Homo-oligomer: A and B are copies of this chain.
Amino acid sequence: MFTYALDERIVLRPLSHEHAQPLFELTELSRDRLRQWLPWVDSTTEMSHTAEYIRGVMNQYASNGAVTAGIWVDDELAGVIGLHAIDWNHRSVSIGYWLGRGYEGQGLMTSACRAFIDYALLDLDLHRVEIRCATGNRRSRGIPERLGFVLEGVIREAEKLPQGYVNHAVYGMLQHEWKRIR
C-alpha cells in the first residue's frame, strides 16, 4: 500500500508478507550472480526461507525502526535495499542492498540509496551511515563512491563467501557532510 516513488517507473515498497513469492522468484533467477557476494543465497532454497527472512525484517522494523524495502520497476521486483539494525545510542546505521539479474547498470541502486540516506540522516536524524562492500565487488563499491562517501578502511577477511574470505571496504557518510553535498 505504501510507497516511495523514485521516479515515475521506480518505487520502493517496505517488504511485507505478500512479497515472499516475487522475492523468492527474483532470488532464483539471479542465483548465479548473487551467490558470489551474498552469503545467504546458497541457503535460500525454498520460498519458506524467503518468507522467514521477510518476517525477520518486519520484526526488526517493529522493534528497532530499521526498514527494508523492495525496489520495484514497472511493478516488477528488481532488488532489495535496507537498513541493518540502527544503533540508537551512537546514532549510526549501515545500509545493505542487491539487484536481481538484468537490473544492474541503470542507476537504480544509486537512486534508492540516496532515498535511504535521506531517510536515515534527515528524517531519523542519525549521525552516520556506513556502507560495507567486499573489495572485489566493484559494482557495489561504485555506489558509495558516486554518492560521495569516504573510504575509511579495509577490514581484512571480514566475510566468508563461497569462494573464501573477502576483505571489506568500509565507507562512511556523516550527517553534516550529507546536508552539504546532497
Contact = CB atoms under 8 A, between A and B. Distances in A.
Given A2-B12, A91-B160, A160-B91, A65 B153 contact: no
A44 to B, nearest CB: 14
A26 to B, nearest CB: 19
Given A2-B14, A89-B39, A128 B157 contact: yes
Nearest to A170: B153
Contacts of A152: 153-156
A124 interface: yes
A90 B159 contact: yes
A170 B157 contact: no
Nearest to A14: B2
A174 B157 CA distance: 8
Interface in A76-129: 89-92, 115-116, 119, 123-124, 127-128
Nearest to A40: B89
Contact of A128 (B39, B59, B65, B158): B158
Contacts of A127: 157, 160, 165
Contacts of A158: 90, 92, 128
A21 to B, nearest CB: 13
Given A1-B119, A62-B58, A154-B152, A90 B172 contact: no
29 contacts: A1-B12, A1-B67, A1-B115, A2-B2, A2-B3, A2-B13, A2-B69, A3-B4, A14-B14, A16-B65, A17-B65, A18-B123, A39-B90, A55-B62, A59-B59, A61-B62, A89-B160, A90-B159, A90-B165, A127-B165, A128-B156, A150-B156, A152-B153, A152-B154, A152-B155, A152-B156, A153-B153, A157-B172, A157-B174
